Each structure stands twice: as C-alpha cells, then as structure tokens.
Structure 1
Amino acid sequence: MKKFLVLALLCLQGVAVQARDNPAALTLASAVAAATAGDPWLAGSEFREQALADEAVAAASLPDPRLSLAAGNFPTDTWDINQEAMTQLSVGVSQMFPRGDSLALQRQQKEQLSTQEPLLRRDRSARIAAQVARLWLSVYRAQEAIHLIEQDRVLFEYLVDAARASYTSAMGHTRQQDLVRARLELTRLEDRLAALRLEQEAGQRQLAQWIGPAALQPLAQGMPPLETALSREALRVATASEQQAYTLLQQHPALAAMDRRIEATTTGVDLARQSYKPEWGINATYGYRDDDTFGEDRADLFSVGVTVDLPLFTGNRQDRQVGAAVARAEALKTERQLLVRRLVADLRAGVARLQRLDERSELYAGQLLPQMAQQAEAALSAYNNDDGDFAEAVRARIAELDAKIESLSLAVERGRAIADINYLLAGNASAADQEGEAQ
C-alpha cells in the first residue's frame, strides 16, 4: 500500500510541473513598455520643454513701446485751447532698452533650462524601467513560490493519505505522531500560501500604479533574460576605484541634466552682473497747438529725449543680487557632488552584490538543489522500504522546497540587482544606442 502511494505521489509531482502556457501573460518587457508609454510625467516634461523654448524667444524681445496722450497747460478760467500759447495736445512714444546683454543672457538661460528636459526624460525612463522591473520580479517571486508550494502540497496531501493508510493498517509502522506531523506540515504550507498570495496581491497593486489593470494578469513563466548593459568583466574593471566608477557614470542623464542646470545658474550670475549697467530709454513727443485768439497760426512743438538710470548705490541691491546668484550656483555644484557620490556608491555596491548573488546562484544550481533532491529521494525511499523515519522524509521534502524557494529568491534578487545597475548605466546604454543609430 505504501509503495503504491509513494509511486502515485511521484507521478502527481510530474503532472504538477507541466508547462503553464498563457498567451495573455504579462512579460517584463511589456510591463516596462506600458509604464513608459503611460507615464504622465514624460508628457509633462515635453510641455515644460516647449514652454521654456517659447519663453526663450520671448525673453530676447525688447519691451513693448509706450504710447502717451496728454492735454497740457489748459487755462482753468475758460478751458479754451487757443487762449494761451502754451496750451497743447501732445502724443508721445517711448522705448526702453534693457541693461547690457540682459536680453541675450535671458534667452540663453531659458534655452539651457530647456535642454535638460530630454535628459530628465531619459533618466525618468530608466528609473521607470528599474522600478517596474523590481515590482514585476516581486510579483513573479510570489507567483512562482505559490506554484512550488502548490506542487508540493499535492505531495503532502498524499503523504497524509499514506500515513493514515499505514497507521490504520495492521501491517503498517506509521505512528500517530507521524500522521499529526504530516497534517501539521500541510497546514504550514497553507499558511505560507496565504502569505504569498498577500505578497502577490500587494505587488500587483503597486505595479498597477504604473501599468493599470494589466498588472492583475498572470505573469509570464520563467525568468526574463536580464543582463547588465556592460559585461561583468568590464563592470568589475570599471568599478575597481571610485574615480573609474565616476568615469563610467559621467554620461548618466541625471548628471547631464544637473550640468545643464549649473550652466543656467552660471548664466544667471552673468545676468545679475548686468544690473551694474544702466538701462536706457528714448522718447519722442509731438505737441499740437491751436491758433491764437486773433486767428494767427501757432507752430506745433516736437520733443525728443533720452532717459538713463544711474546704478550708483549698489551695496544693498546689485551687490546682493550678484552674491545671491553666485551662492545659488555654488549650492547647485555641491548638489552635483552629492549626486555623484551616491551614484558611484550605488554602482560599486550593486556590482559587488551582483557578484555575490551570481556565486550563490551557481552554488544552488550546481550543488545545493541536486543534493537536496537526492536527500529527499533517499529519505522517501528509506521510508518506503520501512528503513527510515517518516518525520525525516517530511523534513527532507520541506528542506528541498525551502531550497527551491530560496533559489527562486536569489534569481529575483539577481534580477533586481541587474535592473538597478542598468539604471546607473543608462548614460552608457543611451550613448551606445545613439552611436549604433548613427552608424
């Protein structure tokens, strides 16, 4: 009876591992593509770029001329336009000219700010790819762990049946505690399934933030072929020191966008220095005078003038404005230094982490999993031949299941590490893509 049940549960295990093809399964590539295509921030960035481009053109334009109309020197006793010689109706036009090179510098600053938007979009797309990959892999781990446990739950159900049959048989050697142990392990599997389903649903809800209802679809089976943008040897060499890692990260879009902001703030310093230069204006006025009281003609009047302000007292205004612009530029440079440190540290830590995960994955695939499978098979065979303990057979089966789930977790963590490293290498990947397109 025991031999028949053991053979039956081994057959059921083979049925449980059959392929689960689903043409509607959500792949990692499709999830990243959907998240990037539906990200509103990217659309907003394009609008900001267009706005800055329009503002650059507007900033380089002269101020609108001013038109003035006046009625001057009317006598208050009669309000007669021809009573007094100085009474006139005048129309004037004035035009102001901003200080120094203010217009050109304002346009340059806006253009520099607009050039950072494509870089920010590249950085955002790379961040989305890394974030969606991490969420997808979290859901994938829960889904595959559920499959592994459900696969072994069938085996434990038959182990419970086998233990019950052996316990009730007069010829059996199964003890009551063996039957209780089998039921206990089956209950523990149910608890692990409930926890994993909670983890899977939570991950799907987070993934839905990026791709909507598609996140609730089953995921494609099998780990996607994730690889770093550079070879492992190139990464190891490039991250041997902080300076080498910085050289690798120089083209990162986040750093490039920061450089554009620094250029814009440096232009802001030059723009603040223009406040030391005078602002000029010209005006022209034409005054009409009516004939005098005797009907004789009076000459009309024409005036032209120039206005200029005198920035003489600069201590509390111009000097302070330039000082603030310089301090703002220096503060942004310190932010860039902090960003460089963080990116370098993340890259070096990510490469080291990936190396250790590769070593552990190879250890599990090459030694631990085969040894666990042999141990479980030997323990089950010994129990089948009445030469082993039922508890040992159960422990061996649980240990094999734990090893499989741990191997799955290592594969997922390895995928997350690759996704994080590829984000840090976004500048190198983009440069390589652009070079390939140019060729």
Structure 2
Amino acid sequence: MHFDYKIWRPIVCASLVALSANLAHADSYSLENAVTTAQRQDPWVQGSLKRQESLDALSVEAGSLPDPSVSLGVANLPIDTFDFSQEGMTQFKVGVSQMFPRGKTLSLKREKLQKLSEMQPYARADRNAQVAVTVAQLWLDTYRSEQTIYLIEQDRGLFEHLVDVAQSSYTTASGRTRQQDLVRAQLELTRLDDRLTRLYQQRDMSLAKLGEWLGDPVITLSENENSESLIELKAPSLIKERDRSTKLRQLSDVLSLHPKIKRIDQKINAFDSGVKLAKQSYKPQWGVNASYGYRDQTPLGDDRSDFFSVGVSFDVPLFTGKRQDKKVQSANAELEAVKTERALVLRQLKASYDSAEAMYLRLVERKFLFDSRLLKEMAEQAEASLSAYTNDDGDFAEVVRARIAELNARIEALHVDIDMQKNIAQLNYFHAGENLKIEQISPAQ
C-alpha cells in the first residue's frame, strides 16, 4: 500500500498558507520605497544629530573666556580691639581678577570642536549609503525566495502530470514503467514540497529582518517590480573602462569624494587645529587683577583716602622639554595616526570595489551564458527525454532528472539576476560621494 501524495499534499499546503496568513493585510514595499523608509526611520541618524548638536554647544563654550574671580576681605584688622577705624591700614577690600588663555587658544579650541561637529553630516551620508545597501540586499533576498517559490509552483503541475502518467502507465502495464519509476516521481514531488517549505522559511526570515529596518513587523513586497531593472548601476563607464591607469585615476577620484573619506578628511582638519592648539602652550598666559580698599574715618572723625590697586600677572614657559614639547609631539602623533586611518580606509574601499567589480563582471558572463544557451539547451534536453519516453525509447528516471535539471537551471538563472542586483547595490555604495550635498547648518538651526 503506497501513500498517495494527493492525500497529504493539501495538509502541507494548508500549513504553508497558515504561516503566510498574517501577510494578507500587510503593507507592501517596493525596493525604492523600502530603502527610503529605512533611511528615514533610522534611529542612528537622530543620534548623530544629537552628537553634532552637543559638539556645536561645546564649541561655543570652549571659545568663551573663563569666568572672572571676585574676592572680598578685610585687611589689617587690629586683633586687640577689632575696631575697624582704629588703624589707618585697616580696609575692606573688593578684588576682581581675569585670566586670558595663551595666544589663540580660545579660537583654536572652538575651531577644533566645530570641525569635529562637521564630521557628522558626512557620517550620516555614509550611514544612509550603508542602509541602502543593507535594505536592498534584504529586499532582494526576500524577492529571490518569492520568485523561486513561484517557479517551483509553476512547475508543480508538470511533476504532478508526470506522476499521473507514471501511475497510469504502471497500472495499465501499457508501457515500460516500473514501480520504482512511480516511487521516484512521487519522491521528487515530495522533495519539491520540502523545498517549498524551506523557501517559505527563508522568505519569512528575510521579511522579519527587513521589517526591523522598516519599523513594521508585517510587510510584503510590491509585485510590480522587474528583476532586470530593480537597481540602476550608477557608473557603468567606470566598469567598462579597460585602461588600468585611467581606471585607477577615476576610481581614486570617485573614492576621494566618498562620505567615509570626507569624514576622515574633516577629522584630519580638526586634529590639525589640535596641533596649532598645542603650540599655543609656548606662549605666556596673562592675567589682570584690580582691587578697591575702603577705609573708615579716623577716631577723630577725619576722612581717610580709599585705596585702588591694579596689576598684571603672567607665567613664563621656560622649561619646555617635558611639558610643551611633549604636548606638541603628542598632537602631531595623533594627526599622523588619523592620516594613517585615512590611507587604511581608502585601501579597504579600493579592495572592496575591486572585489565587487570582479564579481559583477563574472555575473554578467554567467547571465549571458544562461540567456543565450544554457536555459534553451536544458529545455531542449527535457523535451527530448520526455519525447523519447513517450515513444518507449527512454527511461522515466531520465525524464524526471531532466525536468529537475531544467527547473534548477531556471532557479539558478534567477539567482544570477538577483546576485547581479545585490552586487550593483554594493557597487553603487562606492559612488555615494557623487552629487553629495552637505548642509553646513547646526542641528538646532
């Protein structure tokens, strides 16, 4: 007694429908809409705005003079009587002193913090570009699963037909169909069901990850997309350039505009101001003080003149070997470290671009091979094997293998198309600096 697939298939389908029932009233997102929504709702951007706002506020504070000091006191009070008018030198004193930082310390501190603040717009631009890549790849992974499910469901009827043919031929003994052929046909149908279950699982996982970026736990994909033109390649001329020296020059120009590099350039400017700030330690620090001394009348009632004092103080940085020199040395070392960071990031970007470009070119070759020959040849092989079996000149197992191979070839062609789209999204990331507009305003404004 064999187990008829027509009995248990509705059970499997019902479970798959149950897993997808919550998508019935979900919001639908196209690729472009998903990317823009994720960028708009990214909480990291709000954190960057707050960091910029904090640095802007600190720059204003750093450029302000320190608060003046006020002193109050009684001088030369006789301790035998504590009489304020007894002695001529007894006075009530009020003093004010103000310190002035060395050289251009205030303006340089403010300049450094402003340049650190101006790194944030470039950081946000790079973040937006990264979010575009991540969300596009998640969307495309989901799209790949859905299209693969569609291809398998489309061919399911053909495999069911093969099972019916094998069962009819075996029952009537009109052909050369054996029991193992019937079992093989039913097995392939069962494996298709298992494959569908795994694809639904992959799709649901991709949708969940995509929903995290969109802030929407229940979503679906728009169905009016064409896998041939999901993402437009921003710089096909750079891909097609064959002269290596010209290509390297163009790539260097493109990457030098990338927001990740521009952010480090702004950091270099900030640390350059830090070197200038450290050199201000060689200059003296000045201070001004003034005081007023009030005196009471003499015991006989005569008025006494009040006192006014004013003075200037400054330090003299004579021993600079272990203080100022080391401070400047440290600032220079920090600046060189940031320059090294820029060279490292630029090298990483170039290597990543070369890898993505090489993958793209190979995918183009594979797509051409699938479109021009492979899909056609696989279809011809499947038709030939079926025709031979129909004419009692072929093996049923070969028919099943040929149909499975054709289906796998069409699925693989779909994967090549999707991988090309994902690769284009990655390549477009490296052109994020082109037409980049950074608004030079503070978050508060």
TM-score (norm 2): 0.87
Given residue 316 of structure 1, which amino acid in structure 2 is its aligned partner?
K
Do 1:238 and 1:245's aligned partners in 2 also have CA atoms closer than 8 Å? Answer: no
Equivalent position of 1:230 in the other structure: 235
Offset of residue 301 of structure 1 = 0.8
Aligned counterparts of 1:235 and 1:111: Cα–Cα separation in 2? 41
Given residue 191 of structure 2, which amino acid in structure 1 is its aligned partner?
R
**For structure 1, which segment, 93-102 or 385-394, has the greater mean C-alpha deviation from structure 2 after superposition?**
385-394
Alignment coverage as a number of residue pairs? 411
Equivalent position of 1:189 in the other structure: 192
Equivalent position of 1:67 in the other structure: 70
Offset of residue 287 of structure 1 = 0.8
Equivalent position of 2:300 in the other structure: 294
Offset of residue 359 of structure 1 = 1.1
Q: Does 1:343 align with 2:349?
A: yes
Do 1:156 and 1:182's aligned partners in 2 also have CA atoms closer than 8 Å? Answer: yes
Given residue 300 of structure 1, which amino acid in structure 2 is its aligned partner?
D
Three-state SS of the structure 1 residue aligned to 2:241 is: helix
Equivalent position of 1:171 in the other structure: 174
Deviations 1:164-187 (A, max 9, x none): 222111324311010111111112
Unaligned runs of 5+ in 2: 1-24, 438-445
Aligned counterparts of 2:32 and 2:216: Cα–Cα separation in 1? 16
Do 2:37 and 2:214's aligned partners in 1 also have CA atoms closer than 8 Å? Answer: yes
Equivalent position of 1:142 in the other structure: 145
Task: Give the counterpart of 1:382 among 380, 385, 388.
Answer: 388
Q: Does 1:246 align with 2:249?
A: no
Given residue 222 of structure 1, which amino acid in structure 2 is its aligned partner?
N
Aligned counterparts of 1:291 and 1:210: Cα–Cα separation in 2? 81
Cα 1:381–1:140 shift into 2, 3 Å: same
Equivalent position of 2:265 in the other structure: 259
Equivalent position of 1:200 in the other structure: 203
Equivalent position of 1:88 in the other structure: 91
Q: Does 1:424 align with 2:433?
A: no
Deviations 1:274-331 (A, max 9, x none): 0111110101100111112222211111110111122222222212211111111101
Aligned counterparts of 2:100 and 2:366: Cα–Cα separation in 1? 71
Given residue 94 of structure 2, which amino acid in structure 1 is its aligned partner?
V
Task: Give the counterpart of 2:121 among 112, 118, 123.
Answer: 118
CA RMSD of aligned residues (A): 2.1
Given residue 234 of structure 2, which amino acid in structure 1 is its aligned partner?
A
Task: Give the counterpart of 2:157 among 154, 159, 165.
Answer: 154
Do 2:135 and 2:210's aligned partners in 1 also have CA atoms closer than 8 Å? Answer: yes
Offset of residue 233 of structure 1 = 5.5
Unaligned runs of 5+ in 1: 1-21, 432-439
Aligned counterparts of 1:239 and 1:208: Cα–Cα separation in 2? 42
Given residue 236 of structure 2, which amino acid in structure 1 is its aligned partner?
S
Offset of residue 338 of structure 1 = 0.5
Equivalent position of 1:436 in the other structure: none
Cα 1:294–1:345 shift into 2, 3 Å: same
Offset of residue 212 of structure 1 = 2.3
Offset of residue 408 of structure 1 = 1.0
Given residue 230 of structure 2, which amino acid in structure 1 is its aligned partner?
P
Offset of residue 100 of structure 1 = 0.3
Equivalent position of 1:35 in the other structure: 38
Do 1:229 and 1:429's aligned partners in 2 also have CA atoms closer than 8 Å? Answer: no
Task: Give the counterpart of 2:312 among 285, 297, 306.
Answer: 306
Aligned counterparts of 1:61 and 1:125: Cα–Cα separation in 2? 35
Offset of residue 23 of structure 1 = 11
Cα 1:380–1:149 shift into 2, 3 Å: same
Do 2:126 and 2:432's aligned partners in 1 also have CA atoms closer than 8 Å? Answer: yes
Offset of residue 219 of structure 1 = 4.6
Aligned counterparts of 1:292 and 1:127: Cα–Cα separation in 2? 82
Q: Does 1:283 align with 2:289?
A: yes
Deviations 1:370-406 (A, max 9, x none): 1111221222233233332211111111001110111
Given residue 373 of structure 2, which amino acid in structure 1 is its aligned partner?
Q
Cα 1:90–1:36 shift into 2, 3 Å: same
Given residue 360 of structure 1, which amino acid in structure 2 is its aligned partner?
R
Given residue 141 of structure 1, which amino acid in structure 2 is its aligned partner?
R
Given residue 103 of structure 2, which amino acid in structure 1 is its aligned partner?
G
1:385-404 map, 5 Å: 385-404=391-410
Three-state SS of the structure 1 residue aligned to 2:95 is: strand
Aligned counterparts of 2:277 and 2:95: Cα–Cα separation in 1? 31
Offset of residue 213 of structure 1 = 2.0
Cα 1:90–1:274 shift into 2, 3 Å: same
Given residue 166 of structure 1, which amino acid in structure 2 is its aligned partner?
S
- Identity, in percent, stands at 49
Given residue 36 of structure 1, which amino acid in structure 2 is its aligned partner?
Q
